[in-house]
Structures are given as C-alpha cells and as structure tokens.
Structure 1
C-alpha cells in the first residue's frame, strides 16, 4: 500500500474515534488531530495547525497543558493524568489524558495525546464517595467524615494557627424515648433533630452523627464566644421544639477550642469530659470551661 493511501486510511480510522487525539511537535505546536478534538475545542483545523496552546486557550489552561507536555518529554515515556478542565466556552469536563512521545520526523520527538471525557464517571464516583460520608439514617455526615474533617482542621491549625472549636452534643434520656415509644419513633426523632440542628448552624459549622444519639459540631468560628453563643442557641431551640407529637427533648453540650499540641484523640477526650460534666450537672446545659 502506498504511503498516501496509508495516511488516508489512518486519518479515516482516527476520525472515527470518539476520544480526543492530537499531536504536537517538539516546540509544542499542533501538527494534527482528529475530528473529535476539533469539535471538542470548537475550532477549525486551519486555526489549530501550527499554533501552540497559548495561542488557543487561556493562560491557565495552556500552562497546565504545557506542564504535562514537558514532564512527558523529560521522562520520555507514557504519562497519564486526570483533571478537571474548563474550556473557553465555559464547559467544564473531567479528562483522562495519556501523552506519549513519538517521532514525527528524523530525530524529532513530539507529543501524541489521547484524551477521554470521563466527566459522568467522575461525577458518579464523587457522588458515591459523598454517600459513604453520610449517616444512613439522618443524612448528616458520619464518623468517617468527622475523622477526615478534624484531621484537616488540625493540619490547618498546626500550619496556619487557624482556630476551631468542637461541640459535643448528646440527647438527654434518649433511651426513654426508645423504651416508651419504640425504636421507629426514636429514629424519627433523630431525623427531626438532625434536620433542626442543620437548619440552625452556619456554613462554617459542620454537623456529624458519631454515635446513637451523639452528635458533634466542628466549628470554624474565629472566637470561642461565637461557638458558645451557637451552642446556647441550639440548646434553647431544641428545648422549645416538639419534634414528634407528645415528645420533647433537651440536649447537653460540651465545648472546647483547639490548643497547641492537640491531636484528634486529645481534643475528643477533652470535649467528652465537658459533655459528661454537663450531664452530671443536671442535663439541658452547656459546659465550656476546661476540666481542672
């Protein structure tokens, strides 16, 4: 088969592929691509060939592409990366891209790239990941989510001294609700309680269910006073509401702020001691002073 016929056949095959295929020379200028790539970036071939990414895309996107091109050429082997990319028309996609060194002329190594739009797959993955961080009953974040969040907050405190506080909440005498009304009603109380708390906290507050009737709020408030005021508002709100016909509840709360040297265990132990003190003080109250 003649070279021209081979080129025509190769181009026909490439243009039938839905993946985005493109190739650049050693100076990072486009020397070819398939039809899918042209459609995806919404540009004609004559406006692409001979241009580099900085002449086609915005600076940030072009810089990202150039960074991966250079890494691939420096390593001299196939390189794979996944990332969210926003194109000039505003479309945002998640791409799986493989870049391969290839010889396009004698002693000239360029870049062959193949990208696949896996946006729907990534969105499904993120949705599934989010579901694993939710408590099945109440739909608030669970203990796994709490562990991840407090780890991040502790890292921020250690590096930037960014303050945060923890509020431990326990529904008073919850066992009596299960004993007197049944576990189905108890579950509905927990659901209503969780929704009530979620509706009365701020964007900088994060609610987690960490046990049966045990909840935690990680508050990114700048001052301890803000956190205490939030806790008192929640205590009063819960005490004033009827979550289920004939059922009223109260809560006890312990509060402490992060201090130098804290780890997840130390701050949890400290706030649990404060919550226990709130319980022994008669319940339906808040304790925020450190235990001596």
Structure 2
C-alpha cells in the first residue's frame, strides 16, 4: 500500500511539474465555460493570477469580436460535436484581453469531458500565438501590396502611357484570343484600322504638346462611340485599331463611319478641322495576325490615296 502511495505521489509531482513548467496554459472548465482549474503559468501569459480566473466564465475575458464569434460560431460547433458524442479535440483562435488591457491572440485546444457518458465540461490548453498572427497579418498586407503592384505593372504593360487605351502588345494578345473564339464558337469579329490625317503637319504647326492632347481627345471620342465589349488599341504614332467582337463587316463599317463623322465635326480648338482615314475588315477563317494587319493596312492606304476622311472596306 505504501509503495502504491509513493508511486502516486511521484506521479502527482511529475504531472504537477509538467503542468507548471510547460509554456502552454492547461485549464479545466465546466460545460458552461466556467474555469475550475488553471495552471499557474497563466500569470506569465495573461497577467492574471489563478484566483482571478477560477469561478469566472472564459468568454468574459475575450475581446468583443472574439466573444461574439465564440458565442455565435464556436459554441454551437462544440455543442454539435457533444450532441454527437464526439470526443474530438476542438481548435479555435480567440483574442484574449490580458490584465494590463493588452490583447493577445490565443490558440485554444479543448476536448469535451464525460463522466459515465454524461457531459461535464472541457479540458484543454491555451497557447500564445500573437507573434504568429502578427506575422500572418504582415504577410497578408505584403501579399495585398504585391497584388496592387502587380495590377499596376499589368496596366503599365498593357496600356499606352499617353492615351490610356490598350497598347500594341495587348492587341496581339487579344487578337489571338478572339481568333481562337472564332475558330471554336464561330463568333464573327471585325477590325477598324485608322490614323489621323496630316498629323505630322499638325505637330509641326502647333507643337507636340498639342498633338498629344489631340491623340488623347480622339481616343476619348472613340471610346465614347464604341461598345464596352469593343476594344481600342494604339498601334503606334497616330495609328489606332479597334476590335469589334461579334460584329460582321457591315456593322463594323457603320461604326467606322460614325467615328469618322464624330471626329470631323469636333472642334479641337486649333482653328482647323481634324479628320481620320479608316480601313475596315471582317476576320476571314485561317488568317493569322500578320495577314489581318496587312489587309487592313492596304484598305487604310487606299482611303488615304482616295482623298482621306473616308472608310474603305476590305
């Protein structure tokens, strides 16, 4: 008997030593979340003495957001597992308000306790994960900043710096995509290739600053007179291309003539009218990018050779 008592005494001291010296706080609660036991190292973690916690409900020490989350999410989840006679370990993170008012993040690991199949409460551990949460928050912020930066870089890579419309690189990518859609779904599309008549003369007479303003103004006018599903690209210099997805040649020609009329009627404030010449074509099966551009360019050159300020279909 004495030998058994010595063994139990040594076992008790061993467990006591472990509980008092591990970093995690060990605790026991009733089924109503009232603390009935808390290991002494809780003071180092929270500033509270054991006596400050015993007899009090755990949610009382949580930050408001964590308390509401615990009541509305964790408690029902715990109860559901208990009702299913589950003794599975339950993990959740909470914000705990320490005695000095400082809020720490704790990871709680709890397990329901049963006595003769009757649920009586919980036993578990609490671990300080404040540094981990701060690191995760910093990492999340860093990732979001990277996403924003990548978005800006993507815009820089696909937009024309002067006019804000898509650039030539983006045109090549988008044209390949609509060609694939045409081949796969038989969706018609057309293109409008245009440039500003006598633009060099305008630059020479009024200066490049005025020329840049005209390029931006014309880009805005075109965007206001095409659909949201259509796309405008600056090909280079004073040349632009429009992709009209889902449009056949006749519809594209009407759009081109509308744009031509809008621009020739606009007062750009330089004392003279500005006009554009346009080549319009519907994509033909099995054409590649170069073939499409060559065909449109020929139509544009024909429009210029016939007096400018006109639309030529091809």
- TM-score normalised to the size of structure 2? 0.57
1:142 aligns with 2:171: no
In structure 2, the partner of 1:128 is: 153
Whether the 8 Å contact between 1:252 and 1:279 is mirrored in structure 2 is yes
In structure 1, the partner of 2:114 is: none
User: Does the residue aligned with 1:225 lie in a helix, a strand or coil?
Assistant: helix
2:243 to 218, 226, 236: 218
CA displacement 1:143-179 (0-9 Å, x = unmatched): 1221221121111112111111110011111111011
| Structure 1 stretches lacking a partner, 5+ long | 13-34, 53-113
Shift of 1:47: 4.1
2:299 to 263, 268, 274: 274
Mark the CA change 1:51 to 1:169 in structure 2 (over 3 Å): closer, same or farther: farther
CA RMSD of aligned residues (A): 3.1
Q: CA–CA distance in 1 between the matches of 2:76 and 2:299?
A: 68
1:44 aligns with 2:69: no
Mark the CA change 1:265 to 1:48 in structure 2 (over 3 Å): closer, same or farther: farther
1:197 to 222, 229, 236: 222
Whether the 8 Å contact between 1:189 and 1:244 is mirrored in structure 2 is no
Q: CA–CA distance in 1 between the matches of 2:76 and 2:252?
A: 58
Structure 1's consecutive aligned runs of 4 or more residues displaced over 3 angstroms after TM superposition are 1-9, 46-52, 114-121
**Where is the helix percentage greater, Structure 1 or Structure 2?**
2
Whether the 8 Å contact between 2:187 and 2:246 is mirrored in structure 1 is no
In structure 2, the partner of 1:157 is: 182
Q: CA–CA distance in 1 between the matches of 2:285 and 2:80?
A: 54
In structure 2, the partner of 1:287 is: 312
CA displacement 1:39-64 (0-9 Å, x = unmatched): 6xx56333456989xxxxxxxxxxxx
Whether the 8 Å contact between 2:280 and 2:296 is mirrored in structure 1 is yes
User: Does the residue aligned with 2:201 lie in a helix, a strand or coil?
Assistant: helix
Shift of 1:217: 0.4
Mark the CA change 1:156 to 1:45 in structure 2 (over 3 Å): closer, same or farther: same
Q: CA–CA distance in 1 between the matches of 2:305 and 2:190?
A: 22
Which has the larger Rg?
A: 2
| Structure 2 stretches lacking a partner, 5+ long | 1-16, 27-41, 43-61, 82-135
1:173 to 177, 183, 198: 198
Whether the 8 Å contact between 2:280 and 2:299 is mirrored in structure 1 is yes
User: Does the residue aligned with 2:268 lie in a helix, a strand or coil?
Assistant: strand
In structure 2, the partner of 1:15 is: none
